[in-house]
Amino acid sequence: MTHRPIRKAVFPVAGLGTRFLPATKAMPKEMLTIVDRPIIQRVVDEAREAGIEHFIFVTGRNKGVIEDHFDRQAELENILKAKGKHEEIEMLEELLPGPGQTSFTRQQEPKGLGHAVWCARELVGDEPFALLLPDMLTQSNGDSCLKQMINGYNEKGGNIIGVEEVTSEETDQYGVVSIGDGENKCWPITGMVEKPKAGTAPSNLIIMGRYILQPEIFSILKDQREGAGNEIQLTDAMHRLMKVQDFHAIEYEGLSFDCGSRVGFLTANVAFALAHPELRNDFAIELRKLLEGLTHQSKTS
Ligand code: UTP
């Protein structure tokens, strides 16, 4: 059976980013850089690699710079041209989605992820779509995370949630799924809960910020009440949709970094620097020096 193709992706970027203040006072957290690219560029790259054709951003206050980032900067291009910086021009060209391939809408008030997704309803229309939370960055040697999920979707159809295994101590910070019998790291989902209290999680598989959803989620979100944290939770709406549609969990193969937290963001910077062909060697030398200093300090203290 063939399933309707996934052509559009939604990126909710209207959160406040309070954990990164003061960096995020005037700048969106999605524009913080991981080595030399803003976080949001890396997530859009993941979606493009998976074959996404249209990129929908749900934005909020101070987020205009994201729109500028995905537009041409004619003045800059002219200066680079005059200076003969052809490689830089080509790189910028390669990263830019084509004309008409991006859409922006406003959430107006940060009422929660479920509400942010609902704000994309007119732009998505009546077709299944991908949802990528820029908070989570993925890094894999093979297919990107979303590509792995689209491969699974092409087989199973319905709704797909990307999951990863964490320790029991970490489950209370995320949405957690319970699963039935499956194979090849793909399982039917039997339940889900947002930020379960310590010791009550139904499994160690957390919802890691990548989803493929059917458009029926929008009619559910329309009347979804506030849940955990007094926010409209996507997990609660998916839980209701689960009663009438199939959901599968796919365990992503590769690394992921929770860039919504400062430690995750710093770790992502180190991992992407160590994977950068031009920076890898020099950076590894500096990193080793720092770590040796740390070991020396802990031995002498
Ligand atoms: P978070 O709750 O992690 O983001 O939401 P936040 O609110 O920006 O972060 P802190 O806790 O204040 O530091 C996860 C994702 O959902 C988006 C965020 O932008 C982030 O990508 N989001 C969240 C919205 O777009 N709107 C919302 O109302 C809430």
Concatenate the DSSP letters of all residues of 112-128 into one string: -HHHHHHTTHHHH-SS-
Q: What is the pLDDT along the chain (301 residues), one digit of tens a residue?
A: 789 999 999 999 998 889 999 999 989 999 999 999 999 999 999 999 999 999 999 998 777 899 999 999 889 999 999 999 999 999 999 999 999 999 999 999 989 999 999 999 999 999 999 999 999 999 998 999 999 999 999 999 999 999 999 999 999 989 999 999 998 899 999 999 988 998 899 999 999 999 999 999 999 999 999 888 899 999 999 999 999 999 999 999 999 999 999 999 999 999 999 999 999 999 999 999 999 988 777 777 6
Q: For residue 255, what are the β-bridge partners?
A: 139
**Which one-letter DSSP state was computed for residue 229?**
G
DSSP 255-292: EEEETTSHHHHHHHHHHHHHT-TTTHHHHHHHHHHHHH
Q: Is the CB of 236 under 6 A from ligand 1?
A: no
Identify the residue whose C-alpha is closest to ligand 1 atom 16.
113
Query: Looking at ligand 1, which atom is closest to the CA of residue 133?
Result: 21
For 227-237, b where at least 16 C-beta lie within 10 A, e where not — what string?
A: beeebbbbbbb
Paired strand residues for 106: 59
What is the reported pLDDT for 294? 80
State whether the beta carbon of 13 lies less than 6 angstroms from ligand 1.
yes
Q: How far apart are CA 96 and CA 282, in angstroms?
A: 29
Q: Is 111 in the pocket of ligand 1 (CB under 6 A)?
A: yes
Token duo for residue 272: 């992407």
Residue 292 has phi, psi (to 5 degrees) of: -65, -40
Contact 172, 196 (CB under 8 A): yes
Q: Against a cut of 0.85, is the pTM above it? A: yes
Query: How many whole angstroms from 133 Cα to the centroid of ligand 1?
Result: 9
Amino acid at 251: E
User: Looking at ligand 1, which residue's alpha carbon is closest to its atom 23?
Assistant: 15
* Distance of CA 152 from the midpoint of ligand 1 (Å): 27
Return the H-helix or E-strand segment holding 45: helix 39-49
Give, in order, the Cα–Cα distances in Å from 240 to each of 82, 118, 175, 180, 243.
57, 15, 15, 18, 6
In this structure, which amino acid lies at residue 102?
A: T
What distance in angstroms lies between residue 17's CA and the mean position of ligand 1's atoms? 6
Q: Assess whether the C-beta atom of 28 lies below 6 angstroms from ligand 1.
A: no
Which pLDDT value is given to residue 275? 96
- What pLDDT does 207 receive? 95
* 116 alpha carbon – ligand 1 mean position (Å): 9
Q: How far is CA 297 from CA 117, 270, 284, 293, in A?
A: 48, 21, 20, 6
Ligand 1 in reach of 175 Cβ (< 6 A): no
- What six digits make up the tokens of 5? 């193709």
Helix (H) or strand (E) holding 254: none
Q: Which fold has domain 8-260?
A: Spore Coat Polysaccharide Biosynthesis Protein SpsA; Chain A (3.90.550)
